[in-house]
Structure 1
Amino acid sequence: MRLPPAALHVSREIPDEGRWNLPPAARVALRGRHQLQEDDVILDAAELEAFVREQRARGRRIAFTNGVFDILHPGHLRYLQAARAHGDVLIVGVNSDASVRRNKGRDRPINSERERAEVLAAFECVDAVSVFDEDTPADIIARVQPDVLVKGADWPTDQIVGRETVEARGGVVIREPVERGYSTSAIIEKVRSL
């Protein structure tokens, strides 16, 4: 675990636009000390575009991944840490509740999109979270134009949505190994069987 610089302190009275002027490392350090709220990391489409422009202007390598992230487990955390290691910043796209229901059925998600985004935003390895409503992440990937698209190795390369978009601009797609023994669906089934 990285500890934030001890001397770093920013008042909660700083206007929202002032927080954007902090370097990302300071925002991450502040988040680790509970000085900033998750809303500083959970971004709507316009905020996400501004965040991406800021990162590009600073010459940062942008990694992107996406998923439902419904009931988080250690496999999710390790996956996100590995995804972050492929870039200077990690943006996580999260399926909206409606998107999850269309993809996984009406009994999912267990946790709301807001709750899922909030938990992800609290992870030190996650720099930005944005909820998308489409069935696939194709649109958000096209908007972000990440340098690195990270997906689990359980996805065949030819089925990774956004691969062509990323590769067309010189980016890379990385299939990160999946932790065996962890599954949100298995956790849900286990709880239901109790």
Structure 2
Amino acid sequence: MNSKDKIYTLPQLLEQVQTWRDQGQIIVFTNGCFDLLHLGHVDYLEKARQLGDKLILGLNTDASISRIKGPSRPLQDEMSRARVMASLLFVDAVVLFNEDTPLELIEAIQPDILVKGDDYAVAQIVGHEVVQARGGAVKTVPLVKGYSTTNIVKKIENNCNLN
């Protein structure tokens, strides 16, 4: 399978989700910017995928990231980020969203399991009410300490300033 084949529009994804549901698959959803892929992301996504049969990744668009993190972000464009994320064997689908939160995606997809890192409490996770209302689970997974895109950017900036 080509990584491009795992990048969906929402209507395409909803068709695929129905197929997976018809096959009895458990659908897991998570989201993020994933601007620079690092060990923390890989570990997190592996753990998320282990909670079910299919992992859907909601990926913030460039415009969404700029609104949330400022005009200097993202570092990589949305299609580059989508291809990198889709290339991971434990990610089954990538869908872009332009809103500041993935609530509309969660409402449309209705995942069986909603996952975020353990830096969130369940009550803070956007969409937890939607998933729990239909009997789904909201879970957190432990994060690898010390890994973040922000830390990587700071390290690069510090090294550039030394030269």
Alignment match, 1:21: none
Aligned-pair identity in percent equals 48
Offset, 1:172: 0.3
- How is 1:142-157 mapped onto 2 (pairs within 5 angstroms)? 142-157=107-122
Alignment match, 1:193: 158
Question: 1:70 is matched with which residue: 35, 55, 60?
Answer: 35
The amino acid that maps onto 2:43 is R
Alignment match, 1:42: 7
- How is 1:113-124 mapped onto 2 (pairs within 5 angstroms)? 113-124=78-89
* Secondary structure in structure 1 of the residue aligned to 2:48: helix
Alignment match, 2:19: 54
The structure that has the greater radius of gyration is 1
2:118 and 2:128 map into 1 onto residues whose CA distance is 14
Q: TM-score, normalised by structure 2?
A: 0.96
Q: Does 1:159 align with 2:159?
A: no
Runs of 4+ in 1 over 2 A off after TM superposition: none
Q: Does 1:175 align with 2:136?
A: no
Name the count of aligned residue pairs: 159
Higher relative contact order (Cα pairs below 8 Å, separated by 6+ residues): 2
1:123 and 1:38 map into 2 onto residues whose CA distance is 8
1:39 and 1:116 map into 2 onto residues whose CA distance is 11
2:121 and 2:50 map into 1 onto residues whose CA distance is 22
Q: Which runs of 5+ in 2 are unaligned?
A: none
* Secondary structure in structure 1 of the residue aligned to 2:132: helix
1:101 and 1:155 map into 2 onto residues whose CA distance is 22
Q: Does 1:131 align with 2:93?
A: no
Alignment match, 2:74: 109
1:56 and 1:156 map into 2 onto residues whose CA distance is 28
1:38 and 1:132 map into 2 onto residues whose CA distance is 18
Q: Which runs of 5+ in 1 are unaligned?
A: 1-35
Q: Tell whether the 8 Å contact from 2:28 to 2:49 is kept in structure 1 after alignment.
A: yes
Q: Tell whether the 8 Å contact from 2:43 to 2:143 is kept in structure 1 after alignment.
A: no
Q: TM-score, normalised by structure 1?
A: 0.81
Offset, 1:191: 0.7
1:134 and 1:107 map into 2 onto residues whose CA distance is 18
Cα RMSD (Å) = 0.7
2:74 and 2:128 map into 1 onto residues whose CA distance is 26
1:99 and 1:155 map into 2 onto residues whose CA distance is 20
